[in-house]
């Protein structure tokens, strides 16, 4: 990924003299530049489409409500058009760590456990953000229906890393509908996209999280289902139980199938 030199120059009033710019091994959804400057280290994220710029604006909003949880999360500093300046938090994203180290069984158990432990920590936070005005599950199902019908994707299939790999979106909608009555929403603050690239590994532990555009109050099992998909996507399919142990999940694993079907659609 190329360094965005233009974006970095937009923020010199916040950083003062810039000494060095580079691309850090964090996140993966946006153009990301690390600034080393007189006032410290900063991250510039740039959206390359109107949709991504809206997502960055949402992330900035969420982070303004998470200041008491720093340094586990970045701080929002400033915006200039489609570029956003955040404080830098130490760490390498966990997907990069797995890629660099290789899937050694002992390490894989530890990484998966840490990924779960830190999510449980996030789920204990209580920031000042609005809760859903109606049932979060019903809101999310409506989004699934909209994506499938308005997007004409009923014949599309869940990807190979999904627990529902190969099923059509129509089959997933039917599965969600037939199981809806037995799932009761349990709302906690969550990340909204708890995949390995968004977990930062530093000093031998997961210590931080990035990419907060989907952060907010939701059913906590959606984050867990997202994480299980990400473990499979990053070569850690054999270690999902270690993630659940690290989290301390004591619910029914069958319930997670419901949320993973939802994740495949949204």
Which phi and psi angles does 120 have, rounded to 5°? Answer: -60, -35
Whether residue 26 has pLDDT greater than 70: no
- Residue-number span of the structural domain to which 196 is assigned: 92-265
| 149, 261: one domain | yes
pLDDT at 49: 86
Q: Which of 23, 53, 87 is the last residue of a domain?
A: 87
Which phi and psi angles does 157 have, rounded to 5°? Answer: -120, 155
| 121, 22: one domain | no
| 13, 54: one domain | yes
Question: Which pLDDT band, with edges at 50, 70 and 90, does 150 fall under?
Answer: confident
**CA 210 to CA 148: how far, in whole Å?**
29
| 163, 216: one domain | yes
Residues 188-223 have pLDDT tens digits of: 999 999 999 999 999 999 999 999 999 999 999 999
Q: Which of 28, 58, 87 is the last residue of a domain?
A: 87
Whether residue 234 has pLDDT greater than 60: yes
The percent of residues above 70 in pLDDT, for the chain, comes to 94
pLDDT at 12: 87
**CA 196 to CA 118: how far, in whole Å?**
11
| 32, 79: one domain | yes
Whether residue 59 has pLDDT greater than 50: yes
Q: Which of 87, 105, 122 is the last residue of a domain?
A: 87
| 98, 229: one domain | yes
* Across 135-151, average pLDDT: 90
Q: How many structural domains does the chain have?
A: 2
Question: Which pLDDT band, with edges at 50, 70 and 90, does 1 fall under?
Answer: very low
Q: What is the value of pTM for the model shown?
A: 0.92
pLDDT at 22: 86
> Which CATH number is 17's domain given?
3.30.200.20
| 62, 99: one domain | no
> Which CATH number is 125's domain given?
3.90.1200.10
Question: Which pLDDT band, with edges at 50, 70 and 90, does 122 fall under?
Answer: very high
Question: Which pLDDT band, with edges at 50, 70 and 90, does 10 fall under?
Answer: confident
Cα 75 to chain centroid distance, Å, stands at 16
Question: Which pLDDT band, with edges at 50, 70 and 90, does 86 fall under?
Answer: very high
| 17, 108: one domain | no
Full DSSP string of 183-235: ----EEEE-S---GGGEEEETTEEEEE---TT-EEEEHHHHHHHHHHHHHHTT
| 55, 97: one domain | no
pLDDT at 8: 63
| 68, 116: one domain | no
Residue with the bigger pLDDT between 152 and 266: it is 266
Question: Which pLDDT band, with edges at 50, 70 and 90, does 168 fall under?
Answer: very high
| 81, 98: one domain | no
Question: Which pLDDT band, with edges at 50, 70 and 90, does 32 fall under?
Answer: confident
pLDDT at 153: 80
**CA 26 to CA 96: how far, in whole Å?**
8
pLDDT at 4: 52
| 141, 78: one domain | no
């Amino acid at each position: 990924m190329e360094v965005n030199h233009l974006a970095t120059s937009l923020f010199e009033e916040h950083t003062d003299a810039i000494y060095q710019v580079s691309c850090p091994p964090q996140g993966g959804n946006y153009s990301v530049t690390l600034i080393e400057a007189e006032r410290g280290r900063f991250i510039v994220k740039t959206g390359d489409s109107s949709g991504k710029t809206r997502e960055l604006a949402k992330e900035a909003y969420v982070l303004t409500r998470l200041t008491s949880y720093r340094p586990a999360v970045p701080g929002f500093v400033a915006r200039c058009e489609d570029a956003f300046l955040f404080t830098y938090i130490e760490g390498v994203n966990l997907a990069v760590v797995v890629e660099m180290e290789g899937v050694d069984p002992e390490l894989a158990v530890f990484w998966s456990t840490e990924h779960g432990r830190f999510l449980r920590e996030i789920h204990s936070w209580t920031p000042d953000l609005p809760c859903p005005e109606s049932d979060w599950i019903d809101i999310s199902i409506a989004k699934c229906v909209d994506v499938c019908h308005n997007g004409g994707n009923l014949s599309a299939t869940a990807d190979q890393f999904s627990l529902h790999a190969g099923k059509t979106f129509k089959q997933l909608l039917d599965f969600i509908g037939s199981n809806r009555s037995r799932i009761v929403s349990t709302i906690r603050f969550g990340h909204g996209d708890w995949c390995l690239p968004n977990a930062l590994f530093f000093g031998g532990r997961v210590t931080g999280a990035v990419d907060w555009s989907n952060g907010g109050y939701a059913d906590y099992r959606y984050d867990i289902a997202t994480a299980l998909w990400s473990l499979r996507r990053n070569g850690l399919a054999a270690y999902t139980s270690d993630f659940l142990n690290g989290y301390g999940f004591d619910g029914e694993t069958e319930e997670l199938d419901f949320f993973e079907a939802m994740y495949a659609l949204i």
